[in-house]
Structure 1
Amino acid sequence: MTDFQKAREVLGLRLRELRESSPEGRITGTALAERLGWGQSKISKLENGRQTATPDDLRQWAEATGRPEAYAELHGRLKSLESQIRSWRRQLAAGHRPVQETWNALVADTRVMHVWENNAVNGMLQTADYARHIFQHYETLQNSPRDTDDAVRVRMQRQSWLYQPGNRLNLLMWEGALRAQLCPPTVMAAQLDRLLGAIGMDTLNLGVVPFGASLRLPPGNPFWIFDSRLAITDDWDAERWLDDSHAVATYQRVWATLNRSAVFGAEAQQVIAQVRHRLQA
């Protein structure tokens, strides 16, 4: 069971407690459903953690059980729950630019990042043309507002972090991220040249995990660790923001394990150069 599901079930138990301890006496689920104009199944799903409540659901629940003052507590629980799972549908409602601005603020407050990328070049090292194609693909997938140019500009601004002394990006990339044809060959060639030129930067430790490397873990999803306070991983529908120390420690162990399969320096350059050469074949 995920932390998100556990938190949703705890919220459901609190809702049931409010229903059963109403100032007017215990309210049955059927009676509460009738009072709210909801189906009985919604009451059951919310109380058993099988459905995520909206803020309006919580307000109506608190008022219908005679405990309107409980709304602030319930809403706080919901915000805590949503801070762990950030759906792309909600995040991209206003386009990619606001999401990129949030990430810029997060990166600006960080001195050391540990990153694993298995499907695309990391945003901290993307060229503007490569980033443009990435955003366009996701705009189509998520049917989000088309703000590509603004999103690219904000992402490029984030890269100034790499030129600030004392910062450190420890980046591991799966070879598949170098080979994924997410843009035209000319754009990809320039992107690979950017990676080749970045190796050796004082603020960057770039490792590549070749296809032929012996792995101690499956590649899994990409993730980012900010100092030791937060880990973020994403999937097609949402991002997970994890600030629990045990969760962060798990991602740190995963990164350290993948790091043992990576090559660096001249060997990493050789892998990238080989991929670059194949574009000209």
Structure 2
Amino acid sequence: MSTQVEEILQALGARLRGFRKDAGFASGRAFARAAAWQESKVSRIENGKQRPSEEDVRVWCEITGQGDQLGDLIATVRHVDELWLDMRRLLRAGAEQRQRQALPVYGKTKVFRIWHPTVVWGTLQTSEYASAVFEQVVSYYEIPNDAEEAVAKRLERQQYLYRGDRIFNVLLGEQALYTNFGGPDVMKGQLDRLLAVMRLPRLSLGIVPRSAPASIWPGNSFSMFDARLVLVETYSAELSVTQPREIELYAKAFALLKQSAVYGTAVRDLILTAIQHFDQMPSDEESQPCGP
């Protein structure tokens, strides 16, 4: 969880704890009985370990007689929700809408810093690779199947590789060259794409080899847009980091990851080795079972 989110939740929890005590509930257990909640829920909320829902806040204000504070508290909860977006809610209308929403952010950004330890960054993906990725997204989150439309919107990002004076600093873990989306033919096409785009004048493509000495643990993938926004995706949520001191931490992490990266000819050799790996695997057609 982001430091900013933690601080907001801790401040919110302390405020709610004060309401509880002012209302005469000496313990969380007594308040939990009044709210018909488990005692552990009260403790987690008061200690900033759980995001209360808007209904939780309404119940809290009603029991403690703090109804005049409800609007402000709900605004705080909604702000937390904006910082930490549940993936199911983010993708409830399908994956295409999320890809469309990203385009204005890309259009405004001058300097990109991208870290993906296990997957090729979306803006460098081929349509076949992206399609395999979105098929998994649709299945995993059980959302409307708009993979084809999502791929089309993702590929629109590629215009920014060729337009304007944007700078793209992209770091991939070596595992990203081997994480198999779509089979060997799709992977070889994707790796060929990396060989092509690494020659673009404003794209710096680094690879962190598997055995490279680590200056910092790999962590989650993240995307930095100038010095104003960092997006971090987990299985359950997307975190938007906007606090300058937190953005500085991600900038520091990126610089440390770069210390382990190789560039230029060394990147080309790693990609060619990965292509040879997939050359040795049965092609998609060869792997199909023979007919009777």
Whichever residue aligns with residue 127 of structure 2, its letter is A
| Alignment-derived partner of residue 107 in structure 1 | 106
What's the offset of the Cα at 1:51?
Answer: 2.7
- The match for 1:169 is 168
Identity %: 32
Question: In structure 2, how many angstroms separate the alpha carbons of the residues matched to 1:203 and 1:35?
Answer: 61
Name the residue aligned to 2:117: 118
Query: CA distance change for structure 1 residues 33 and 256 in 2, over 3 Å: closer, same or farther?
Result: closer
Give the whole-Å Cα distance in 1 for the aligned partners of 2:16 and 2:36.
Answer: 17
Question: Alpha-carbon deviation of 1:7?
Answer: 2.5
Tell me, in whole angstroms, the C-alpha distance in 1 between the residues paired with 2:18 and 2:65. 12
SS in 1 for 2:214: coil
Shift of 1:37: 4.9
Question: Aligned residue for 1:257?
Answer: 256
Partner residue in 2 for 1:55:
54
Letter in 1 for 2:279: Q
Aligned length: 278
Q: Distance in 2 between matches of 1:236 and 1:38?
A: 28
| 1:39 Cα offset (Å) | 4.8
- Runs of at least 5 residues in structure 1 that lack an aligned partner in the other structure: none
* RMSD (CA atoms): 2.3
Cα deviation, residue 62, structure 1: 2.6
Q: How does 1:148-167 map onto structure 2 within 5 Å?
A: 148-167=147-166
- Supply the distance in 2 between the matched residues of 1:67 and 1:117 (Cα, whole angstroms): 46
The two structures have a TM-score, normalised by structure 1, of 0.89
Deviation at 1:74, TM superposition (A): 0.7
Supply the AA of the counterpart residue of 1:231: V
**In terms of mean alpha carbon deviation, does 210-219 or 112-121 score higher?**
210-219
Measured after TM superposition, the shift of residue 236 of structure 1 is 1.9
Q: Could you tell me whether the CA contact under 8 Å between 1:223 and 1:232 is conserved in 2?
A: yes
Q: Match of 1:13?
A: 14
**Closer/same/farther in 2, CA of residues 209 and 37 from structure 1, 3 Å limit:** closer
The Cα shift of 1:2 comes to 5.4
Contact 1:139 1:145 in 2 (8 A): yes
Moved over 6 A (4+): none
Contact 1:175–1:211, Cα closer than 8 Å, also in 2: yes
Q: Which amino acid aligns with 1:192?
A: L
Q: Which residue of 2 aligns with 1:183?
A: 182
* Deviation larger for 29-38 or 221-230: 29-38
Check whether the contact 1:200–1:265 (CA below 8 A) recurs between aligned residues. Answer: no
Shift of 1:132: 0.8
- Partners of 1:52 and 1:199 in 2: CA distance: 43
Query: What SS class does the counterpart of residue 260 from structure 2 fall into?
Result: coil
Which runs of 5 or more structure 2 residues have no equivalent in the other structure? 281-292
Cα displacement string for residues 232-272 of structure 1 (whole angstroms, at most 9, x for unaligned residues):
22222222221122221111111112212222223222221
Bigger mean CA offset, 201-210 vs 83-92: 83-92
Residue matched to 1:140: 139
Match of 2:92 in 1: 93
Give distance in 2, aligned partners of 1:8 and 1:139.
31
1:65: how far off?
Answer: 3.0
Change (3 A) 1:55 1:210: same
Alpha-carbon distance, 1:274 to partner? 1.8
- 1:53 Cα shift? 1.0
Q: Deviations over 1:99-151 (max 9, x none)?
A: 22232222222111101111111001001110111111122222233221121
8 A Cα contact 1:224 1:231, kept in partner = yes
Q: What's the CA shift for 1:27?
A: 5.2
CA spacing shift, 1:163–1:41, aligned 2, 3 Å: same
